[in-house]
Structure 1
Amino acid sequence: MPRDFLHNHRQFADLIRIVAEAQGIAPALVEKDYWIMQSLYGLQQLGLTFELKGGTSLSKGYGLISRFSEDIDIRIEPPADPPVMIGRNHDKAAHVQSRKDFYDRLAQTIVIDGITSVERDTAFDDPRQYRSAGIRLTYASINGSVEGLKDGVLLEVGFVGCDIVEAHLQQHAVFQAFDRSI
């Protein structure tokens, strides 16, 4: 049975507006926050193993801040086959190509309810080593474009800074509009 997501409800725009008014921020920011959370949920539903790398995401997950982020700084565990060479010393041309191919395949694999397109955003890429790359998730905005706000959600996928993870905690991030809707 398909999931019933907030963005599929006819009162979604009203919910975004109510949260925006309560928070004193632009509705487009609340909507983007919703789509960031929907994107993370969708990645989890695809069975991908991932870790959030960005300070905004981590701080928000622990309720330390209420700041909004425009993108998701994330490390997605590559599959065992084909092998993706992500070690610190993996800098041969074949290793670099394995990482680029991983990002390209990943973009082709992502399907998330409400996301209208998934495309590689090469403006974020590290073309010399491909330790990081961008994937843009686009949604049909109910608020239109806002000056200074990037379209869609950018997945900043990368392996930099993730060679050794000493410890991590699983934290459930909760979207403010969902809290208000229940």
Structure 2
Amino acid sequence: MSVLNTAVKPFKAQAFKQGKFIEVTEADIAGKWAVFFFYPADFTFVCPTELGDVADHYAELQRLGVEVFSISTDTHFTHKAWHDSSETIGKIQYAMIGDPTGAITRNFDVMREAEGLADRGTFVVDPDGVIQAMEITAEGIGRNAVDLLRRIKAAQYVRSHPGEVCPAKWEEGEKTLAPSLHLVGKI
């Protein structure tokens, strides 16, 4: 079952962010763009490369008005220990949510039940709390923050320009399409 075009379900969780433990709920994304970035586990191999990549692009995400939440089924305590012991993870400024019960992971339908771990799932959520884009990859396939930025810019463009859509490989500033009867069969 796809969660695309559905609202984020209510949740409450503890997170580690910028040296503090904080509580995060769905209310924290109300009226904002957000990215929920699920990964299998702390202290692993592909995961820190992905989280580090997002950290390297966090300032640009912030300029776009996007808040980032990384999530695994580890605890917020484990996130702090990882943050304190890894140079790559130590540069993260966004919230690292602990989901030891798996409730949030299940809400986004990315729980691997047999292992109690999240799949690699990325979800772009609009200011209404609705999931506009998602990407799920297998364990060994890392994601790319540059492509995530492109998808967010496209989602923001489409939201602010009703009646227009962004074609494949669209980059900010490029031409879009206005679907109509006259366009059918001409692309």
Give TM class, smaller chain. Answer: under 0.3
Report the structure, 1 or 2, having the larger helix content. Answer: 1
When normalised by structure 1's length, the TM-score is 0.26
Report the structure, 1 or 2, having the larger strand content. Answer: 2
When normalised by structure 2's length, the TM-score is 0.25
